[in-house]
Amino acid sequence: MVFQVKITDLLTTRHLPFDELDPNDVRVEYIFKRFQLGEYTGSYCCTSLGKRANNNVFTDYGDSFGVGDVITAQMDFENGSISFWKNSEFMGVAFENIAVPEGEAVYPHICVKNCRVSVNFGTFPGGEEEWLKQPNWVFVNALPRSQTERAPVPPESKSDCTVLMMVGLPSVGKTTWVRRYIREHPSEHWTLISADTILASMKVNGVSRNSSHIGRWDMVLGLVGKARNRLLSLAARRRRNYILDFTNCDPDTRKRRLALFEGFFRQCVTIVPSDEVMQQRHAKHLRQNRGEGTAAVPIETFLELKGS
């Protein structure tokens, strides 16, 4: 089974307030679940930087590729292997002895960073002459219906979707509650929007942004805030179930964010532990994230949030 990706343009990053390491990248691969490519055990990817990745381990693999190059991702179910082609050049077997988990579907997938791409699942956009073909290749679109499974479809209307807004001071247990709830309700297909998920998406070749960034950390946090606002505006246009994991202590902030999701079923989940438990959790949070860009919340800010 194969599919192909062509990079058509590299987007500028001049708007960033700092120099970005590897500002453009494309990851091409197959995954078993909806996760960032190459960063968990069920994801196998090849990157445009000339690396392959699985389980958050990035190693050198072949040449890099850029604008105009066609990358073919080939999965052999009989041998349990994944290989890649760069244009007409076979790059070699990237992964072997892959066991597809029972009951899991395999998703052709791409992850882009400041790039425009064209994707060929068998329809050959722009004409067959722009893509590579081999007699033994079976494109995704050519697979029999009996061998395919439709990805989860969104609810029919926004009224069938739910937005859960977390409310609580920093380090009181909101994220712990969210993780447990998502784990216990997998069939509800929750999409989590939080500062942690945004930062997790900003890794550089599997290395956390906290560890790889050189310069002022407040600039990164500023980008996280802009990304959060953009994600909220985009999320309100898509029919999904969302959890908004921020402090959301300010009434005006809650009202403004929930107003974006007009038509959704909206609820707030408020976490209010005792002062003793809150202090213990806050101290634990600082210990666990020492050296990861986490600083103590100023007491003035804490009291202001608590008073709201």
- Regarding whether 58 and 120 lie in a shared domain, the answer is yes
Pairwise pLDDT comparison (78 vs 259), residue with the higher score? 259
Is residue 152, in this structure, part of any structural domain at all? no
Mean pLDDT of 70-87: 93
pLDDT one-digit tens code per residue, 24-51: 899 998 888 655 555 667 888 999 999 9
Domain limit, last residue, from 147, 167, 189: 147
The pLDDT confidence band at residue 191, using thresholds 50, 70 and 90, is very high
Domain limit, last residue, from 126, 147, 168: 147
Is residue 179, in this structure, part of any structural domain at all? yes
Q: Tell me how many domains the chain contains.
A: 2
- Regarding whether 233 and 169 lie in a shared domain, the answer is yes
Say which range, 20-34, 47-61, 115-129, 166-180, has the weakest mean pLDDT.
Answer: 20-34
- The whole-angstrom separation of Cα 53 and Cα 30 is 11
Q: How many residues does the chain have?
A: 308
Is residue 102, in this structure, part of any structural domain at all? yes
Domain limit, last residue, from 122, 147, 172: 147
CATH number reported for the structural domain that contains residue 183 in this entry? 3.40.50.300
Token pair, residue 128, equals 């067959």
- Regarding whether 163 and 132 lie in a shared domain, the answer is no
205, 1, 189: which is closest to 100 by C-alpha? 1
The pLDDT confidence band at residue 302, using thresholds 50, 70 and 90, is low
- Regarding whether 27 and 166 lie in a shared domain, the answer is no
Is residue 110, in this structure, part of any structural domain at all? yes
Structural domain that includes position 200 = 158-307
- Regarding whether 135 and 191 lie in a shared domain, the answer is no
- Regarding whether 232 and 121 lie in a shared domain, the answer is no
In the predicted model, is pLDDT for residue 250 greater than 60? yes
Are 199 and 193 in contact by the 8 Å Cβ rule? The answer is no
Most confident of 2-16, 31-45, 255-269, 280-294: 255-269
CATH number reported for the structural domain that contains residue 32 in this entry? 2.60.120.920
Name the region of 165 (left: φ>0; alpha: ψ -120 to 50; beta: rest). Answer: beta
- Regarding whether 133 and 13 lie in a shared domain, the answer is yes
> What per-residue confidence (pLDDT) applies to 308?
64
In the predicted model, is pLDDT for residue 221 greater than 90? no
| Residue appearing with tokens 């069939």 | 187
- Regarding whether 136 and 88 lie in a shared domain, the answer is yes
Say which range, 14-28, 145-159, 165-179, 205-219, has the weakest mean pLDDT.
Answer: 205-219
- Regarding whether 239 and 133 lie in a shared domain, the answer is no
Is residue 153, in this structure, part of any structural domain at all? no
- The whole-angstrom separation of Cα 198 and Cα 225 is 9
DSSP string, the chain: -EEEEEEEEE---TTSSSPPSS--EEEEEEESSSS-TTSSTTEEEEETTSEEEETTEEEE-S----TT-EEEEEEETTTTEEEEEETTEEEEEEE-S--PPTTPPPEEEEEEESEEEEEESSS-TT-GGGS---TT--BGGGS-GGG--PPPPPPSSGGG-EEEEEE--TTSSHHHHHHHHHHH-GGG-EEEEEHHHHHHTT-BTTB-HHHH--S-HHHHHHHHHHHHHHHHHHHTTS--EEEEES---SHHHHHHHHHTTTTSEEEEEE----HHHHHHHHHHHHHHTTTTT--PPPHHHHHHHHH-
Are 70 and 6 in contact by the 8 Å Cβ rule? The answer is yes
- Regarding whether 266 and 227 lie in a shared domain, the answer is yes
Residues whose CB falls within 8 Å of the CB of residue 219, separated by 6 or more in sequence, listed in order: 17, 18
- Regarding whether 87 and 44 lie in a shared domain, the answer is yes
Mean pLDDT of 95-112: 86
- Regarding whether 169 and 142 lie in a shared domain, the answer is no
- The whole-angstrom separation of Cα 110 and Cα 306 is 43
Mean pLDDT of 237-255: 93
Residues whose CB falls within 8 Å of the CB of residue 75, separated by 6 or more in sequence, listed in order: 1, 2, 30, 81, 82, 106
DSSP string, 163-183: EEEEE--TTSSHHHHHHHHHH
